[in-house]
Amino acid sequence: MNVREGDRLSEGDVLLRFDIEEQQAELERARAEFDLASAVYERNQTLFKIDAISLAEYEEARANKRIAESEVKLLETRIGFGSIRAPHNLVVLSRYVERGNAVSNNEPLFRVADLNRLVVRLGIPERDVVALEEGQQTEMNIDAFPDQPG
């Protein structure tokens, strides 16, 4: 857990890293299985060319290599989801999890805001709306930043 409420983040900063040691071990096993399947396939390819094995044995070796390769890609993708990064510059408004917490799918982890794209909803009485003009400028003070004039 790399951030607290109020932290400003830049694009690509890591907010949180999941424990992915188990997935990394599974990836290493899958890579070893891929290496073995590749070696068997190459050997069977040579044997098939000289008619020493059947077409079925050759195709089985080829399929096993493709299965092992897809398992490696799947685990690499899952490991890629082991970190949550800021998609752009933002501020952490709330943090809903603590270090060591278990989380489930679709559970909110943070509440963030892009302060470069704020929307202000003004409560203007109807009687004053008629006096407004498009492009008219005004000053605004934000309670969270009392020393910064808007």
The residues spanned by each domain of the chain are: 19-81
8 SS3 class? strand
| Residue linked to tokens 């077409």 | 55
H/E segment holding residue 62: helix 55-80
User: pLDDT tens digits for 36-82?
Assistant: 999 999 999 999 999 999 999 999 999 999 999 999 999 999 998 88
Chain Cα centroid distance, residue 124: 41
CA dist 23 and 9 (Å) reads 28
User: pLDDT tens digits for 9-23?
Assistant: 889 888 888 888 999
- The pTM score is 0.61
Q: Is the pLDDT of residue 150 over 70?
A: no
Q: Average per-residue pLDDT in the chain?
A: 88
The CATH number given to 19-81 is 1.10.287.470
Angle among Cα 81, 83, 85 to the nearest 5 degrees reads: 110
